[in-house]
Amino acid sequence: MNRDWISSFWRSAAQYFAGGIGLALVTFVCFQLHLNVGTTGFAYLILIALLSLVGSFIGSLVLSITAVGLLNYFFTLPLFSFRVDYPDDILVLTAFLTTSVIVTSLTAKVRTAAEEARASQKALVDTIPALVWSTLPDGSLDFINRRWEELGLSLADLQGSEWTTVIHPAERAGVLDKWRTAVETGTPYENVERVRRADGEYHWFLSRAAPLRDESGKIIKWYGTDTDIEDQRRAEEALRVSEQRFRDYAETASDWLWETGPDHRYLRISEHVDRSGVAPPKRLGLTRWNYATDIESEPEKWRLHWATLDARQPSRFAISCSAPPAVTVLRSTSNRAASRTLTQTATSSVIGASAPMSPRRSAQIRLNKRCARRG
């Protein structure tokens, strides 16, 4: 607020100073040329209108009243007197003052509207949650928004081609080549790069820019944004590490893991599934009952298994396989959250784990079955 007041004071002081000198010069020239009051008033009006572009309305009003006094004193009869004897001179002076006030008032309103528009635009640019910048047609930086201050960087640090110094050395050459190509060809720019903060730490940013062209298609400006994606990159890296860790666990576990689609056909199988006697590529695209040997002998078990999966409930049961070992325990769960169907309730995939059954457990199951049939 204090800075704005000081700026307004010096602007008004400059208007008064320049206006006083200008009125004196115009008065001297017009008086030496013996110009009439109308011509001199028009010259005054031009001077006051020009000064109103950089000054205040009050300053313009003061200069207008001063100009009326000079017109009356030097250009109306009797000369060198503030007395007005002729009605025509009164009309001329009144018309000049009225016109000057109207012109300067309109000029002040237009200037105020323009300043408010610039302030609103600047506020909008400063509040955008991104680093906004612009360059000249040759690609040299000439503007940054206030968000850059959060990185401890100012326009002086980045102006012209100095912005390249804050790019990570590993990406600097590539960034320069891509930016130079974009400027030369006029194509939009997009790149992921690391930018150094004032504390020396580098953050990943998604940088985008597009050219502004005039009616003839000539580029007159480049506008761009840099969006901080450091958190996103860290999350992606953490996810990649987590996925790799899970993949390592799956490949070294005693069980083998698998996933089937909505039609119950295998989509993915861990690499060591060949322990069951069937190589993974041969099992992809098949269903569990393609190689099970107890479909006809135990239909109720399979009906219950399918119903459990359709209800998106965990299922645990034993099946007999056509490849050794003869019996395998299957543990499966239906995954509704990964649904890729058109309905929200349909099951999109089933994931599970399988392990060969111990000979003792296998023998126990066969014995239980025989006892059940005899009973």
Q: How many other CB atoms are found less than 10 A from the CB of residue 61?
A: 18
What band does 1 get if pLDDT is binned at 50, 70 and 90? very low
On the question of pLDDT at 336 being above 50, the answer is no
> How does the average pLDDT of the chain come out, rounded?
79
> pLDDT tens digit string along 246-264?
776 666 655 667 777 777 7
Task: Check if the beta carbon of residue 27 is closer than 8 Å to that of residue 39.
Answer: no
3-state class of 65 per DSSP? helix
Q: Which is nearest to 351 in space by CA: 334, 365, 368?
A: 334
Q: Residue 300: its pLDDT value, please? A: 80
What band does 265 get if pLDDT is binned at 50, 70 and 90? confident
Query: Average pLDDT for residues 277-285, to the nearest whole number?
Result: 59
> pLDDT tens digit string along 146-173?
888 888 888 888 888 889 889 999 999 9
Least confident of 24-33, 51-60, 136-145, 287-296: 287-296
Pair of tokens at residue 155: 């326009």
> pLDDT tens digit string along 182-222?
999 999 999 999 999 888 899 999 999 999 999 999 999 99
Pair of tokens at residue 264: 């119950």
If one compares 157 and 320, the residue with the highest pLDDT of the two is 157
What band does 337 get if pLDDT is binned at 50, 70 and 90? very low
Task: Check if the beta carbon of residue 256 is closer than 8 Å to that of residue 280.
Answer: no
How far is 278 from 261, CA to CA, in rounded Å?
Answer: 20
> pLDDT tens digit string along 215-242?
999 999 999 999 999 888 888 888 888 7
If one compares 102 and 355, the residue with the highest pLDDT of the two is 102
What band does 101 get if pLDDT is binned at 50, 70 and 90? very high
3-state class of 181 per DSSP? helix
Q: Residue 6: its pLDDT value, please? A: 73
- Helical spans, DSSP H, in the chain: 2-32, 37-52, 57-75, 87-127, 155-158, 169-185, 230-252, 280-283, 299-310, 359-374
Domains of the chain and CATH, by start = 2-126 (no CATH), 128-233 (3.30.450.20), 254-374 (3.30.450.20)
Task: Check if the beta carbon of residue 211 is closer than 8 Å to that of residue 222.
Answer: yes
Q: Which amino acid is at 312?
A: R
If one compares 214 and 348, the residue with the highest pLDDT of the two is 214
Q: Residue 341: its pLDDT value, please? A: 36
Q: Residue 249: its pLDDT value, please? A: 63
Pseudo-torsion of CA 307, 308, 309, 310, nearest 10°?
A: 50
Q: Which is nearest to 256 in space by CA: 240, 280, 281, 286?
A: 280
Sign of the CA dihedral 20, 23, 28, 31? Answer: negative
Angle at 313 between CA 312 and CA 319, to 5 degrees: 110
Q: Residue 40: its pLDDT value, please? A: 94
On the question of pLDDT at 308 being above 80, the answer is no
On the question of pLDDT at 71 being above 50, the answer is yes
How far is 305 from 288, CA to CA, in rounded Å?
Answer: 11
Least confident of 122-136, 278-292, 356-370: 356-370
